[in-house]
Amino acid sequence: MTGDVVDLIMQDHREVERLFDELQKHPEKRRLLVPVLSSLLTAHSRAEEAHVYPAATNEASEAEDVAHGQKEHAEAEQLLVKLNNTDPASKQFEKVLSDLVEAVTHHVKEEESTILPKMRRELDEPRRRELGDAFVAGRTLHLGDRPGEATKEELLTQARNAGVAGASKMAKEEIFKQVLKS
């Protein structure tokens, strides 16, 4: 067993905050740290979307907050794509990084004040540990995935989490747009 899913998610949040701090304070490390940040955030999001968000919706009655969180994941992924495509030495990089930090910090604050506490209250410890195992396995599977390259199946999961109807009949690009709109 790997641990309580709530604790594991919060550990990832702290690591992302540490990486943001490094990126802001040490511009010379950006070329090395951007791929690390991108990989961690993408893997974290995919694992949450596949394993944690469905449980939060179905077992902790958090459908509205999950839909909102899913939209924030999609927005952060767009910013990650932009960050990866921006010269780390440019002023534009500073702006994109600032936007990403603001978006992810907002998302983390909301998730840690709504979804995660309710999961801790509503799900017993064995279930949270089971979800922890699934979260770690999902995150491991997706380490190395690049932002903006989700499969149609992953996008359909995002659409379900966001409450988008009729997504199975949409093209990948349309699914992503609908998740962002939701």
Residue ranges of E strands in 1-120: none
For the chain, give every domain's residue range.
5-181
* End-to-end CA, the chain: 35
Burial of 112: CB neighbours in 10 Å, binned 0-12, 13-18, 19+: middle
- pTM of this structure: 0.91
How many whole angstroms separate alpha carbon 142 and alpha carbon 137? Answer: 9
Per the listing, tokens 């449980």 go with 55
From first to last of the 182 residues of the chain, give the pLDDT tens digit. Answer: 579 999 999 999 999 999 999 999 999 999 999 999 999 999 999 999 999 999 999 998 889 999 999 999 999 999 999 999 999 999 999 999 999 999 999 999 999 999 999 999 999 999 999 999 999 999 999 988 888 888 889 888 998 988 999 989 988 889 888 888 88
